[in-house]
Amino acid sequence: MPLSSPLTTAAPGHTPTDQRPPDHRSPVRTAAREVLDPAHLRAALRLTSVDATLAAALLCGASVAIALVIAATSGHQDLAGFAALGALTSLYGRFDPYRRRAALLTLVGVAMVGSILLTSAVTAAGAPTWVALGVVALLAGGMTALCQLLRTGPPGATIVVFAAGAGLAGAPTFADLAPRGLAGLLGVAVAWVVCLAGFLFRPSGPARLAVRRATLAAEAAALAPDDRGAVGRAHDAVALARRVLADDASHRRTRATALRLADDLSGAAGTPADLPPRLTLRATARESLTGSAGWRLRSLRVTLAAAVAAAVAHVAGFGHPAWAAMGATATLQGTTTQHAVVRALQRALGTVVGALVAWPLLDAHLGFWATAALVVALQVVTEIVVGRHYGLAMLTITPMALLMTSLGGSGEGIALDRALDTAVGAVVGVLAVVLVHARRGASRVSGTART
């Protein structure tokens, strides 16, 4: 089925948005009704089919494991948590072509280490708590804007907010800045090497995967030509595959394979065999800046929600209010009302159950190596599960994050803090969808976030 035709024709019985009668109802009330739709609960229980998760999960697990081992064997077990945080850079650009992923990991790694250093410095300077939490909120909004402009996909700004929150922990002094920064940098370097090692053995691996996904999506669309969702997914998959092939075609080592795969894709999906120019990170950002301005609203919404969630958690006396900011940020990675509500339900409920799982593990006061092994195992399982069901993944994300936090200090009471802070963040995130989104006059923001 050729996929080069534009999807401009409305489905039968469907009135195009620009031809519908204007809706004079309050946008806030309209958004609130969407939030309260019972269908969100059914969507929160639904599993999603994904592929190619095992390799990405093992790469992330290997990055975290190596970072932990190096930090511990060098006599710095107290800094192992920061090294593991840096290694979580491996979560970004999982299916990107290798040169793009190299640039992306470098950029995200700088953001991760910079966030740790900035919040550690603010805390060391004795700044009031509200100032430190304001910095975390600004980092959440800034990283959201960066991820939107670069189209990084999951996990968005959430991991950087986690790193920023870690910088607030432990009453650091200025003498702690260099060790923390070096530990985080170690993790970033390990992730960079582990995630790019595949270029030595199978440099066209990401392109092959992208073409396979596009071909399968095109076949599914051909079987259901009236299914606008299937046709749209096919268009997106083919466009992504062509961008990946364009990246490979601009490198001498992968050019021949990329051109051959482009011909295969052309035959399977009815697309042109010639490829577009390579889209670098800089070109991607430039294209995003000249396109939709939705990234500005998303960044503002995350900043406000993170600040409010952290403030509520702080006033309530919860132990880690930065986690509330992270909960709001994670909820708002969902770019439609339904997606945000589903994520909020999944994150809040999954975190509560995950905290119950973590509680006895923390109370057992496991040794460093047992804790490190659990962190790695839970990280691998998380990456296998998260694409299928975000809520189920929270059952492993929560104990993994809490055990990682305990590597740098006491784990007393952090399970309860995690559950309470996450619930606050999820609620504030949903309120931000209703209030900020509606007041800006945007009915729905296009695009999706997968984690």
Please determine, for residue 49, whether its predicted confidence score (pLDDT) is greater than 80: no
User: What is the spatial distance between Cα 359 and Cα 144, in angstroms, rounded to a whole number?
Assistant: 31
Quick one: average pLDDT of 175-182?
96
Q: What are phi and psi of 413, to 5 degrees?
A: 75, 0
pLDDT at 334: 65
Residues of the chain with pLDDT > 90: what percent?
Answer: 52
Distances in whole angstroms, Cα of residue 201 to Cα of each of 22, 58, 98, 198: 57, 16, 12, 5
pLDDT at residue 52 is higher than 70: no
Q: Report angle CA 15, 20, 21 to the nearest 5 degrees.
A: 150
**In whole numbers, what is the pLDDT of the chain averaged over residues?**
84
C-alpha–C-alpha distance, residues 432 and 342, integer Å:
14
Cβ–Cβ < 8 Å for 273, 266: yes
pLDDT in tens, 80-105: 999 999 999 999 999 999 999 999 99
CB 199 within 8 A of CB 438: no
Euclidean distance between CA atoms 155 and 343, whole angstroms: 13
The answer to which of 332-336, 366-370, 408-412 has the lowest mean pLDDT is 408-412
Instruction: Collect all residues with Cβ–Cβ distance below 8 Å to 342 and sequence separation of at least 6.
Output: 40, 43, 44, 334, 390
Contacts with 90 (C-beta within 8 Å, 6 or more apart), sequence order: 59, 60, 63, 64, 105, 191, 194, 195
Top pLDDT among 25 and 131 is at 131
Q: What is the pLDDT of residue 254?
A: 93
Using CA atoms, how far apart are residues 334 and 302, in angstroms rounded to an integer?
11
Nearest to 351 by CA among 411, 396, 381: 396
Average pLDDT over residues 199-215: 93
pLDDT of residue 450: 37
Helix-then-strand count for the chain, H and E: 19, 0
Whether residue 410 has pLDDT greater than 80: no
Task: Look at 362-366, 372-376, 446-450 and tell me which has the smallest mean pLDDT.
Answer: 446-450
